[in-house]
Structure 1
């Protein structure tokens, strides 16, 4: 299966359990692998036969910044829903949502969650 890949899309948002996370916000990094049949797009240079990267980024940015959630697991799930709702060609989606500046009192590269679903595994 072919894949569209977006790595480390930066979105500023207000998710987390700590009150300062909801008040001050922080940068989140979103990486996606979206499986789809891209053969028609590749053969015919037809943008309508693929997933427009700019539109994928817009949908992800809108989802991440539109609400405040305690858990990044919820944010990642909402991104999955947004991809499947807006892009009918998406067969499966793998998402890695990173929180590089999680206030945990320890130095770390990032804390994150990874979810992977196929179209039939999620209600949209």
Structure 2
């Protein structure tokens, strides 16, 4: 299966269980692999037959910045849901959501979650 790949989209948002995370916010890094049949777009050089990267990023930004969630698991799930709602060509989505500066009192590169789901996992 073909894939559209977006790696480490940087978005500032207000998610986390700590009060300061919801008040001050922080940077999140979001990587996506969206499986879809891209053969028509490749053969015909037709943007309408693929998933437009800019539109995918816009949808992800809307989801990430529209609300405040305690869990990044919820944020990742909502992003996948938004992709399946807005991009009917998407067959599956793999997402990695990273919090590089998670306030946990430990030195680490990032804390994060990773999910992979198919369209059939969502009622959209």
Structure-2 residue corresponding to 1:71: 71
Instruction: Compute the RMSD of aligned alpha carbons.
Output: 0.4
- How many aligned residue pairs are there? 124
Q: Structure 1 CA distance, aligned partners of 2:101 and 2:84? A: 29
Q: Is the aligned partner of 1:105 residue 2:105?
A: yes
What secondary structure sits across from 1:80 in the alignment?
A: helix
Structure-1 residue corresponding to 2:115: 115
Which runs of 5 or more structure 2 residues have no equivalent in the other structure? none
Q: Structure 2 CA distance, aligned partners of 1:121 and 1:98? A: 23
Deviations 1:6-39 (A, max 9, x none): 0000000000000000000000000000000000
Q: Structure 2 CA distance, aligned partners of 1:3 and 1:123? A: 22
Deviations 1:58-99 (A, max 9, x none): 000110011000000000000000000000000000000000
How much does 1:122 deviate?
1.4
Structure-1 residue corresponding to 2:80: 80
Q: Structure 2 CA distance, aligned partners of 1:114 and 1:28? A: 13
Q: Structure 1 CA distance, aligned partners of 2:43 and 2:99? A: 38
Q: Structure 1 CA distance, aligned partners of 2:121 and 2:13? A: 27
Q: Structure 2 CA distance, aligned partners of 1:41 and 1:102? A: 39
Q: Structure 2 CA distance, aligned partners of 1:86 and 1:100? A: 28
What secondary structure sits across from 1:29 in the alignment?
A: strand
Moved over 6 A (4+): none
Which runs of 5 or more structure 1 residues have no equivalent in the other structure? none
With the length of structure 1 as denominator, give the TM-score of the two structures.
Answer: 0.99
